[in-house]
Structure 1
Amino acid sequence: MKTLIIDDERLARNELRRLLDNFPKIQVIGEAADANEALPMIEELEPDLLFLDIQMPGKNGFELLQSIEGKTPEVIFTTAYDEYAIKAFEFNALDYLLKPVELARLSDAINRIEEEQHTTDSTGTNPTNGSLSKVLGENDQVFVKDGEKCWFVKLGKVRLFESMGNYVRLYFDDQKPLVLKSLNALEDRLNPSTFFRANRKHIINLQWIEKIEPWFSGGLLVTLRGGDKIEISRRQAIRFKDLLSL
């Protein structure tokens, strides 16, 4: 995978290149210290992947991506600051690595690249292709920030999404953070084979269902592992049965 490292700190570039030596599939084809250096290299070398710093002299990492004409490479952001993480994932980043980059976290990021490539090879299409409408599945890892707390969580661990006005509450482990997003917008991003819209307020992870019971007016009551009880509305119960029936 042809890779460019873009970072204004020479020591950071050197350290990342050293760490990437552990991954034979990653071929570092060049380095750049800022957007002015990087843009012509991206046009000429057509890299598959960018390791991209955010704060740089001149254009920052986000502005660099917006300046790319044609197909945008996959992106893994590298930065010393965590406050940009939500915006990074709005740019469909594969991952967001905090400096100093640790080998274990870098390995997780490379594994995600391989998962994306496997999906591309098996479907014949690239689900990311620079679009903000990428469908997220159980193996996708997302950044969640609520106040001063931050998590990187695999969506497969999220058992329930609950609408709270303009926010959505995520339920995973013993955590219940809020994110600024509507449930409808979130539903458009989630793989419907794993995440099911149970009613106006809830999306459930089908793999977490422990028990299903008949409920009022033709609806269903599902119990998730952990004890959460969610009503599936009558209309959604029809879809639910169709989805899970042989």
Structure 2
Amino acid sequence: MNALLVDDSRLARTELRHLLRAFPDVTVAGEARHAEEARTQLRALQPDVLFLDIHMPGETGFELLASLETAPHVIFTTAYDEYALRAFEVNALDYLLKPIQENRLAAALAKARAKLTAPVPALAPAAGPEPDEPAPTPLTEQDQVFVKDGERCWFVRLADIRLFEINGSYTQIYFEQHRPLIPRTLQHLEQRLDNRVFFRANRQQIINLKWVESIEPWFSNTLKIKLRGGPEVEVSRQQSVRFREMLSL
């Protein structure tokens, strides 16, 4: 994949170019110091991926994107974490904080490869009504999601989330020692999560199967599952049957 690096700092561009040498399938097609130079490079090079700083002389990275009719896949590179939510609102693939870590860069490039190699969907037949809204994009356990609860924000790999649990009109997320609340339903999350990894244990909870520490028989032929780091989850009767069928040889 061809990449364009846009950053007013020559040192930052040099460092990113050096990190990208570890990925043989990535070619740095060009560099730009500000938005106007980036527009010229985008027209000439038509890169697959744009590594974009936010604070630059003249226009910001967001203003550059707003001025483009079409844009390549965008990975933001910045020293500031307060623009993360806005970055995902403009459909950025990822948001890398400086100094950029190689493992985070690898994860961002994996997302770019997945987008670039995804098959082009066939045209829908003309007959029939259009759906009210597009189907949610499925996520893998290696995807990183942005979570905001009040004034606190996190970037969390789905693989690190062990439990989603209804809490009032919100869903509570369990990862590390944190328990933020998000305005999403379990039904919405089920559509987006990989059902080979995330299992709907009951009406209230979705568990990450890779965090299961132990399983024991429970009342009325149900199961009780203990997750590493807690808590224990009681699987409903119907879902206990499905759990056995799904995971038995």
Report if TM-score (shorter chain) is over 0.5: yes
Give the corresponding residue for 2:107.
112
SS at match of 2:104: helix
| Distance in 2 of aligned mates of 1:22 and 1:197 | 39
CA distance 1:120–1:54, change in 2 (3 Å): closer
| Distance in 1 of aligned mates of 2:44 and 2:236 | 54
Within 5 Å, give how 1:217-232 maps onto structure 2. 219-232=222-235
| Distance in 2 of aligned mates of 1:34 and 1:182 | 41
Give the corresponding residue for 2:38.
38
Residue identity matched to 1:76: I
| Distance in 1 of aligned mates of 2:185 and 2:61 | 27
Give the corresponding residue for 1:53.
53
The CA deviation at 1:41 is 3.6
For residues 86-129 of structure 1, the C-alpha deviation after alignment (integer angstroms, 9 at most, x for no partner) is 33234453431223x24xx1x113322454477679x86489xx
> Would you say 1:27 and 2:27 are equivalent positions?
yes
TM-score using structure 2 length: 0.74
Residues matched between the structures, number: 237
The CA deviation at 1:50 is 1.1
Once the two structures are overlaid, the 10-residue window that deviates more, 211-220 or 79-88, is 211-220
The CA deviation at 1:236 is 2.9
Please provide the CA RMSD for this pair: 3.6
SS at match of 2:194: coil
For residues 136-170 of structure 1, the C-alpha deviation after alignment (integer angstroms, 9 at most, x for no partner) is 22222334344554444332221111122443322
CA distance 1:225–1:26, change in 2 (3 Å): same
Give the corresponding residue for 1:168.
171
CA distance 1:16–1:207, change in 2 (3 Å): closer
- Identity, % of aligned pairs? 54
CA contact (8 A) 2:75 2:108 kept: no
For residues 160-202 of structure 1, the C-alpha deviation after alignment (integer angstroms, 9 at most, x for no partner) is 1112244332212222233343333332221111011222221
CA contact (8 A) 2:73 2:112 kept: no
CA distance 1:96–1:119, change in 2 (3 Å): closer
Residue identity matched to 1:96: Y
CA distance 1:32–1:182, change in 2 (3 Å): farther
Once the two structures are overlaid, the 10-residue window that deviates more, 189-198 or 21-30, is 21-30
Structure 1: which 5+ runs fail to align?
Answer: none
Give the corresponding residue for 2:128.
none
SS at match of 1:139: coil
Q: Which of 195, 202, 224 is the equivalent residue of 2:205?
A: 202
Residue identity matched to 1:78: T
> Of the two, which has the highest radius of gyration?
2
Residue identity matched to 1:154: R
CA distance 1:16–1:216, change in 2 (3 Å): same
Residue identity matched to 2:87: A
| Distance in 1 of aligned mates of 2:119 and 2:225 | 35
CA contact (8 A) 1:119 1:126 kept: no
Q: Which of 203, 210, 215 is the equivalent residue of 1:212?
A: 215
| Distance in 2 of aligned mates of 1:133 and 1:221 | 31
Residue identity matched to 1:196: F
TM-score using structure 1 length: 0.74
Structure 2: which 5+ runs fail to align?
Answer: 122-133
SS at match of 2:199: strand
> Would you say 1:153 and 2:156 are equivalent positions?
yes
